[in-house]
Amino acid sequence: MILVPVLLMMSAFVVDIGVQRVARVDMQSLADVVAMDLAWELDGDTASSLEPVMATRAAESLARNGGTVGSLDEPPVLEPVLGQIVDGFFVPVSGSEVPTAVRVTASTDVAFAFAGITGVLGGDVSRSAVATASSGACFRLGSFAAALNSGDSALAGVFESLMGDALGVNLKAIGYQGLATAFVNLDALAIELGAGTIDALVSQGNISVAGLLSASSRVLSNQGDTAAAATMGTIAARVTAGLTMSVGDLVTIGDGSTVSGSINALDLVGSAGLAATSEVANGNNFLDTGVVWSDPWLSKGDVKLSVIEAPQQACGRPGGGVTARTAQVDLETNLALELSGEKISGLDVRTSDGTNKSNIKVRATVASATGTLSGMKCGAGTAADPEEIRVRVNSQGTSASIDVAFLLQGEISTNGILSAAYLNSLNLGALASVSLDLNLSVEAGAVLATGPRYATGETIYRVPPRNYFDPEPSLDSGEAVSIPAPSDVEFAASSTARLKVKLPLVPATYINLSTAPGSELGQWLYGDLADTVLNGNNRIGISLANAVENVNKALDPVSALLGLRVNGSDVFGVPRPACGLPRLVG
């Protein structure tokens, strides 16, 4: 008889172990299902925006997946936590950080029937699951397609000249405009080029530009866009033989990116041309524009623009290091300035070599802006449910310099230049006649910065109101890139400035004077004379202003074509941000 209670106790113990094991399986299954459900919400929004949604969606998922083993009085407890997968481990995130994973912990209590007394003892059961969703987006800083869609003939001319120099193709004869509304799928392009994936395509070394464009033509044809395919094929057939480039110069991807994407066909042509020019020709000038100088004292000269790097498109997930950059452009011009017969403030203006032709040099660097994918939101693309691509833009201001060298020589009165008190301090004598004998070697020049040196801000490309073909200016700047007028130019002078002193019946004597900026002569030299030289109605002042104006005539359309702005850039989303299927990772 003693054996029966023992067997009953052992049976109850076995049952309790089985119930707890079933509860563990139930909690794991529940955690898995709920984590997968919540991963659908990982649409690139911030943790602070998603946290309230997680609790609601967890409760809804639990209601759909009831019937688990556990306490009859209380349902299982679910604890969702937003985070990211870093080096294979789940790391919680919060606030403005963008979660790419969610961890769900499911817990319940199990009442034991040990010794046949139900509810006397119990145990806690807890299991966790981690799920992610492959969400990502593509964006671009500047777009050839958008610029050319504006109908600006000047921009079209610049683009045609640029591609003629870079690719050796007369695009105007081809009629390339149909490419502006066509997009090439990057996954299909990778397959056509034998890379298999976008990641592998981007990591490849140099490939043929003609081969890239031919493959793009086949992709467009497979997509059903036969007109764009034919145009792309024609361009590919005419590209200068031997041009190569790396696709990584056009498209960048973030760490661990497996997101699909596309690239505008016209942007692909333009960026491929610039990348090939930068890589093969080492940044050769892509645009030499003869400018008609409406100035009788300036010779006609070329404004030389060279591309340092091609603009990029970036694809990937927020927080994955997805960064693109605009093009960087260098500009330089050298002009011959006629100085013959010119006088400024009574002084002769000439050159040190006696040719009476000085040079005006203008240089400018339109530094690249970089953009990092900081967030995204999938939606229906409607006013009620817009989709977003958020880009953190870091921009460097345009820097420019302008300078001209010349000599100022002659003898002028001291009136208005040197004070009577200063002259008296030299003990010249009451009968002395004094004048200034000047031989000034002048270098007039300046660094002309447009806006702050650096600027940073987040730009949101939201559809609607945007439509993937219009820009969102970054950093609240709508200004085109241009060089400011040289109104505040540094005026550097080295001289043999002397005071000429003449007494009756005595040969003239000379007193050397300081021309340092803080001296009495220096105040006039760097103040009134500098303003007269640079901003007055004389050849140097007028010609400096005209040189800047004509340089801007060449710089403005190039900047507009590349989407460059003063301390910013044009941000474009690429259709469309994708929120992929969730998957369990732990």
Q: Tell me: the pLDDT tens digits for 386-402? A: 999 999 998 887 788 88
List Cβ neighbours of 117 (8 Å cut-off, separation of 6 or more): none
Task: Note whether 329 and 306 are within 8 A (CB).
Answer: yes
Can you tell me the distance from the alpha carbon of 314 to that of 422, in angstroms, rounded to the nearest whole number? 66
Higher model confidence: residue 352 or residue 257? 352
Average model confidence (pLDDT) across the chain: 81
Distance CA 570, CA 434 (A): 61
E strands, 112-211, in order: 122-141, 183-185, 207-208
Nearest 5°: phi and psi at 155? Answer: -65, -40
Q: Which residue has the tokens 């604890």?
A: 79
DSSP three-state, residue 581: strand
Q: Pick from 134, 104, 25, 37: which is nearest to 70 by CA? A: 25
Average pLDDT, stretch 256-275?
82
Report how far residue 57's alpha carbon sits from residue 580's, in angstroms, rounded to the nearest whole number: 18
Pairing type for strands 251-253 and 313-316 reads: parallel
Q: Give the integer Cα–Cα distance in Å for 586 and 578.
A: 23
* Phi then psi dihedrals of residue 191, to 5 deg: -65, -45
Whether residue 586 is predicted with pLDDT greater than 60 in this model: the reply is: yes
Question: How many CB atoms are closer than 10 A to CB 476?
Answer: 11
Given this model, what pLDDT does residue 111 score? 60
pLDDT digits (tens, 9 = 90+) for 150-183: 778 888 888 898 888 888 899 999 999 899 999 9
What is residue 292's predicted lDDT score, i.e. its pLDDT? 57
Complete DSSP assignment for 105-123? EEEEEEE--GGG-TTSSEE
Rounded CA gap, 557 and 303, in Å?
13
Instruction: Express each pLDDT in 507-536 by its tens digit.
Output: 888 889 888 888 888 888 888 888 888 778
In sign, the C-alpha dihedral spanning 29, 34, 37, 42 is negative
For 219-265, the pLDDT digits (tens) are: 999 999 999 999 999 999 999 988 988 888 888 887 655 567 889 99
Q: Name the token pair of 27.
A: 């909690």
Residue 330 CB contacts under 8 Å (≥ 6 apart), including other chains = 283, 305, 306, 308, 363, 364, 365, 366
Lowest mean pLDDT among 109-113, 126-130, 403-407: 109-113
Supply the pLDDT for residue 4: 45
Tell me the per-residue pLDDT of 567-582, one tens digit each, with 9 for 90 and over. 788 899 988 888 766 7
Tell me if 544 sits within 8 A of 402, measured CB to CB.
yes
List the beta strands (DSSP E) in 413-505.
433-463, 472-473, 490-495, 498-503
Q: Which of 20-24, 88-92, 494-498 has the highest mean pLDDT?
A: 88-92
Instruction: Specify the length of the chain in residues.
Output: 586
**Helix or strand (DSSP H, E) at 56:** helix 47-64
Query: Which of the two residues, 265 and 545, has the higher pLDDT score?
Result: 265
Distances (CA, A) of 119 to 16, 23, 282: 11, 16, 81
CB burial class (10 A; 0-12, 13-18, 19+) of residue 542? middle
Helix (H) or strand (E) holding 533: helix 530-535
SS3 455: strand
pLDDT of residue 72: 47
pTM: 0.70
**In this predicted structure, which of 344-358, 452-466, 543-557 has the lowest mean pLDDT?**
543-557
* Average pLDDT value for residue range 38-53: 85
Nearest C-alpha neighbor of 130 from the set 106, 95, 110: 106
Buried b / exposed e along 277-304 (16+ C-beta atoms within 10 A): bbbbeeeebbbebebebebebbeebbbb
- What 3-state DSSP class applies to 371? strand
Q: For residues 51 and 97, what is the distance between their CA atoms, to the nearest angstrom?
A: 12
CA 546, CA 223: separation in Å to the nearest integer? Answer: 51
Residues 6+ apart with CB under 8 A from 187: 197, 198, 260, 261
Q: How far is CA 165 from CA 161, 281, 287, in A?
A: 6, 11, 7
Which of these, 129, 111, 97, 112, lies nearest to 28 by C-alpha position? Answer: 129
Q: How far apart are CA 226 and CA 217, in angstroms?
A: 9
In contact, 345 and 12? CB cutoff 8 Å? no
* Tokens 């801000």 sit on residue: 457
pLDDT at position 120 is: 47
**Among the ranges given (228-232, 317-321, 404-408, 487-491), the one the predictor scored with the smallest mean pLDDT:** 487-491
**Structure confidence at residue 284 as a pLDDT band (50, 70, 90):** very low
- Which residue has better confidence, 280 or 445? 445
Neighbours of 322 (CB within 10 A): 26
Structure tokens at 203: 């990591």
- pLDDT band at residue 442 using 50, 70 and 90 as cut-offs: confident
Alpha carbon distance 290, 358 (integer Å) = 20
- The pLDDT of residue 286 is 53
| Per-residue pLDDT reduced to its tens digit, 7-30 | 444 444 444 444 556 777 888 888
Record the tokens describing residue 314, joined without a space. Answer: 């970036």
Q: What is the mean pLDDT of residues 307-318?
A: 82
